[in-house]
Structure 1
Amino acid sequence: MIDKHSPIPIYYQIEEFLKEKIVSKQYEVDQAIPSERELSEVFGVSRMTIRQALNDLVTEGYLYREKGKGTFVAAQKIEQPLHEVTGFSEDMLKRGMVPATRIIQFGETDADKQIAAYLKINEHDPIYKIERLRLADERPIALEHTYVPVHLVPNLTEDIVKESFYSYVEQHLQLEISHAEQTIEAGLANSKQASLLEISQGSPVLFIQQLTCLTNEQPIEWVRSTYRADRYKFHVNMKR
């Protein structure tokens, strides 16, 4: 399991050994891992060495601790590449996860000045206002507020937005989505966000705004999302 004669620190070898068990799902999410005492006996090292390895895994988000109960396997972060426009359902299916959507609010309203400016429509034009909780494998990931011009997507229903909005736009309406712009910033969850995302108030979250456009540069949606920072991370491929 570990090589005590290796130049690689023993705590790091243990860390990598446990990480492999987590990634390969030999340790399931929310499963308690063996205690420091048990692990020290298994590896034949001090509890201080075990503690260092576990502390690193907690910091990296592979484990979490509950006071008085032990150390448990954390749900792994979902990595989202930022070089392509994909919908939430598409992302989750690609990762072998089961996407789900809980509709909190759905209906038509008039666009205010800010939303009209983003969507390049007139103030008071009709829009769909959609609030959705996004889940992967039954665990909440993000809270979304979406605004869509009614004239571009007529007859939109709750059933459609529960599935894949992008698929409906491209396959049913025959509209081509071209590109999107995103802004991402860190923040803290308020009481409503915390309750829906099943985290503590004040927990770190990612606030994301996305404007998605068709090939003619007409925006088809503006989305304000709140993502759990402990469940999501973004990947950017940059070239010089």
Structure 2
Amino acid sequence: MSSPIYIQIYKVLKEKIVLGQLKPGDMLLSENELAQQYSTSRPTVRKSLSMIENEGYIYSYPGKGYYVAVPDHNKYTLVFNELHSGDYSINESKLLEVNVIVADEEIARVLQVPLQRKVIIIRRLLSVTEEPVAYDVKYLPYYRGKPIVEKEIQYATFPEMVAQKDSAFAIKKELCISIEYSQPIIEKSLYLKESRPMLVVDQRLFDQQNQPIGWGKTYYKSEYGKIKACSS
């Protein structure tokens, strides 16, 4: 079964751009011309062009038409999952603590809650073939009457934890990667003999109104602190 005509047009035009047959700055044929060339309607052509535009290959100039965009090589797609990073996967997650605490100044500031507001803290030790490689801590606003199911969070990623309350598709994410020196509680959990630099991934989750719904930090041993990103 052949693909719908709009998919065929999409594939042909995208291939011409990728292969360099259409270069940055080149103007595409008009919607009318493409419709005639492919014996179809303008709405069908417009659907194809919209798909290519959404992927960043072309842009529209009102009243003139569509042009091939200049690729942005400064943009990368970073896929992060605290249970899978770099060339390895976490195969053991040990739940160290699930508790309700009162927010200190830093937690209150990040989660935008009143000082001393109750929050849930979750601490985990992440290991690869029995070797502890990362210390993971998460903070979630506390809601009275909402059960904390430990078995559901032991191997859950951060968005999955929050998605027990909010739709996973409604969550907005912010990621910050930095280097910090280990703290005594982390050194003890990861069997470090002294303070050392660690790769730290700071995750902040927001709802559709941009209100914080979760804050987490994962501390990786330097030899396991590898995160990959690729250009689209």
Per the normalisation by structure 1, the TM-score is 0.53
Amino acid at match of 2:103: A
1:110 maps onto 2:102 in alignment: yes
Amino acid at match of 1:158: E
1:207 maps onto 2:191 in alignment: no
Task: Quote the residue 2:189 is aligned against.
Answer: 196
Task: Quote the residue 1:143 is aligned against.
Answer: 135
Return the offset for 1:162.
0.8
1:223 is matched with which residue: 210, 216, 224? 216
Distance in 2, matches of 1:191 and 1:169, equals 28
The answer to whether the 8 A contact 2:198-2:225 is kept is no
1:181 maps onto 2:167 in alignment: no
User: Cα 1:135–1:150, aligned 2, differ >3 Å: closer, same or farther?
Assistant: same
Distance in 2, matches of 1:226 and 1:104, equals 15
- Residue identity (%): 17
Amino acid at match of 2:172: H
Distance in 1, matches of 2:161 and 2:176, equals 25
Return the offset for 1:219.
1.7
Return the offset for 1:230.
0.4
Distance in 2, matches of 1:197 and 1:146, equals 17
The answer to whether the 8 A contact 1:213-1:220 is kept is yes
Return the offset for 1:227.
0.9
Aligned length in residues:
155
Return the offset for 1:183.
2.7
Unaligned 5+ segments in structure 2 are 1-75
Distance in 1, matches of 2:229 and 2:144, equals 31
Return the offset for 1:95.
6.7
Return the offset for 1:167.
2.9
Task: Quote the residue 1:83 is aligned against.
Answer: 78
Return the offset for 1:128.
0.3
Unaligned 5+ segments in structure 1 are 1-80
Task: Quote the residue 1:156 is aligned against.
Answer: 148
Return the offset for 1:98.
5.0
Return the offset for 1:235.
2.3
Distance in 2, matches of 1:217 and 1:228, equals 32
The answer to whether the 8 A contact 2:162-2:214 is kept is no
Amino acid at match of 2:78: H
Amino acid at match of 1:128: I
Amino acid at match of 2:197: P
The answer to whether the 8 A contact 2:124-2:135 is kept is yes
Return the offset for 1:229.
0.9
1:81-117 alpha-carbon deviations (Å, 9 max, x no partner): 9634x5423x36x977453222222211122232122
Task: Quote the residue 2:92 is aligned against.
Answer: 100
Distance in 1, matches of 2:189 and 2:145, equals 28
1:173-202 alpha-carbon deviations (Å, 9 max, x no partner): 452353322333224434442332234323
Q: CA RMSD in A?
A: 3.1
Amino acid at match of 1:156: I
Larger Rg, first or second structure (1 or 2): 2
